Amino acid sequence: MRRKDREITDKNEIMDIINRSKVIRIAFTGEEYPYVLPFNFGYEEKDGRMYFYIHTATEGKKNRLLDENNKVAFELDNCRDYVEGSITSLYESVAGCGEMTEITDMSEKLSALGLILKQYGEKTYKPDSSCASRTRVYRLEVKEVSGKTVGEWIDELVILEAKALLNSSSMNIQEIADRLNFANQSFFGKYFKHYTGMSPKEYRKSR
């Protein structure tokens, strides 16, 4: 995750990213290396807390690791575009950590499976007790969460390109502002200083 001062903490932004995500990746611990797996998921907010729900096979490595340590990390992301002519993609993400517990009550399992189906827009299939009895369902209670938007990625890319031009080109500040599609040099200077703490001229002199 990026610098702390650029994390998304606005709940609506975080929920918007989650709503549009299709996969949650969960990292389990308990061995020499973390064990990361992708899952379909559902989620809900209840009593001011956020919960994710996943279902798994009745046996497996992840089940054993959770029995030993139920503290996990998670991540969801949406890739929005590839930046042509670079090695960068624009994406938005939500990451955090929490604690997982198995749901054993049948009505709660059915409710959790229903939330998973809801995430994918499924309206016709309804899980029943026969289905729920053949799977293990877990609740992930979120303890910490933050995110990153496409807009922030764009800002970072613009600043990276501006720094590269200031460092290695003979272009003046106005030419760089034009190259980066800023309305004028003044706006570019304010934008650059907002993200770096110094003006373009000061940055160039410091190199």
pLDDT digit string, tens, across residues 18-59: 999 999 999 999 888 899 999 999 999 888 789 999 999 999
132: buried, middle or exposed (CB in 10 Å: 19+, 13-18, 0-12)?
buried
pLDDT higher than 60, residue 107: yes
Q: What is the pTM of this model?
A: 0.69
Q: How far apart are CA 115 and CA 22, in angstroms?
A: 13
Q: How far apart are CA 157 and CA 140, in angstroms?
A: 34
- Of 57-71, 88-102, 107-121, 147-161, the one with minimum mean pLDDT is 147-161
Mean pLDDT over each residue of the chain, to the nearest integer: 87
User: Residues 93, 70: contact at Cβ < 8 Å?
Assistant: no
Enter the tokens of residue 191: 């934008």
